[in-house]
Structure 1
Amino acid sequence: MNPWADPRWPETVRREVVRHLESCYPLEGCGVILHAPSESSWRVCPLRNASPRPALAYAFAPEEWLAVCLQADSRGEQLMGVFHSHVDGPPTFSAEDRSLAAPAGHPLLPGVSYLIASVHRGCVSWVSEYGWTNGDFQTRRV
């Protein structure tokens, strides 16, 4: 069964995200999803988790994040999603996730979806999507 069947995201994107997050277990995996509207193309960019506590949190490796941003800009791609996993836990937007994504109550990446996958025993069991609405991150529904 596909744990993430939201038709708003192309099947290839969903597959690549799930594959990356499962391969990172028992550590949290992370990355971004880019879209080039002019070409109708999508790109999943896994990023190294540089958190000092990678089993409990994620942080993009700064040099990789910068390289992806520069490359996306040169290709005319838009950042559509940030994804990461929660190891053996629910796919909820944690207080730490919130503080990193919206320091001082302002989102760093407005309009971007945050996808959180629950990975149990190396398998994604559920993916939840969040977006900034009315001053906080709220679950997005299909």
Structure 2
Amino acid sequence: MSLSLSYPNNEARTSITKAAYTLLLDYCGSILPNEACGVLAREKERHSIDIILPIRNIHPHPSESFYFDPEEWTAACFSMEKNRQQLVGFFHSHPNTAAIPSNRDGEGFHFHSGFQYWIISLTDPSAPVVQPYRHQDGVFMPAQLVFA
């Protein structure tokens, strides 16, 4: 499978609160040298991501790939439902590579097009790079990140 990226002229925008952004970076940095992963959510009445739900990576080779712990993934889903929160998307880190989807990322993404997919590159942990994507028709499309 060949991974394709599309860079549209009118880049989609996505927003996150500064508090959630800080939590996201802190969490991803704390998991090094392994890949961090989790869920991006928001209060149902809000338009910006304001909730980061880390999920334990149980992949046999966690420095190279990620796999959600099924129990924590289920708990996150129940928590979002109970607290009237909306799932916006998913995140994971690349400890040693750029914030560009790998072929493995494309093969592992089985959700419908409405969800966002964020990659956090930690090749330089003191200067992380966060790139949100939208996945549409088998293509990762970069989105512009703005702070709420």
Query: TM-score range with shorter-chain normalisation?
Result: 0.7 to 0.9
TM-score by length of 1: 0.83
Of residues 42, 55, 61, the one that matches 1:53 is 61
Higher relative CO (Cα under 8 Å, sequence separation at least 6) belongs to 2
Residue identity (%): 27
Whole-Å Cα distance in 2 between the matches of residues 124 and 97 of structure 1? Answer: 22
CA-CA distance at 1:71 after TM superposition:
1.4
Q: 1:28·1:84 contact (CA, 8 Å) conserved in 2? A: yes
TM superposition shift of 1:133 = 2.6
1:120 to 123, 141, 146: 123
Q: Which 10-residue stretch deviates more, 72-81 or 17-26?
A: 72-81
Q: Residue 129 and residue 47 in structure 1: after superposition, are their counterparts in 2 closer, same or farther (change >3 A)?
A: same
CA shift, 1:121, in A, is: 5.1
Deviations 1:13-71 (A, max 9, x none): 11000000000111111111211123778321111111111000011101000010011
Alignment of 1:15-54 (within 5 A): 15-38=22-45, 42-54=50-62
Q: Take 2:63 and 2:87, find their aligned partners in 1: how far apart are those partners?
A: 25
Alignment RMSD, CA only?
2.1
The one of 87, 98, 117 equivalent to 1:90 is 98
What amino acid is aligned across from residue 22 of structure 2 in structure 1?
R
Task: State the aligned residue count.
Answer: 132
The verdict on how the C-alpha distance between 1:132 and 1:114 changes in structure 2, with shifts beyond 3 A counting, is: same
The 8 Å contact of residues 18 and 124 in structure 1, kept in 2 or not, is answered as: no
8 Å Cα contact 2:33/2:63 also seen in 1: yes
Q: Distance in 2 between matches of 1:45 and 1:61?
A: 12
Give the Cα–Cα distance (whole angstroms) in 2 for the partners of residues 23 and 29 of structure 1. 8
Letter in 2 for 1:117: I
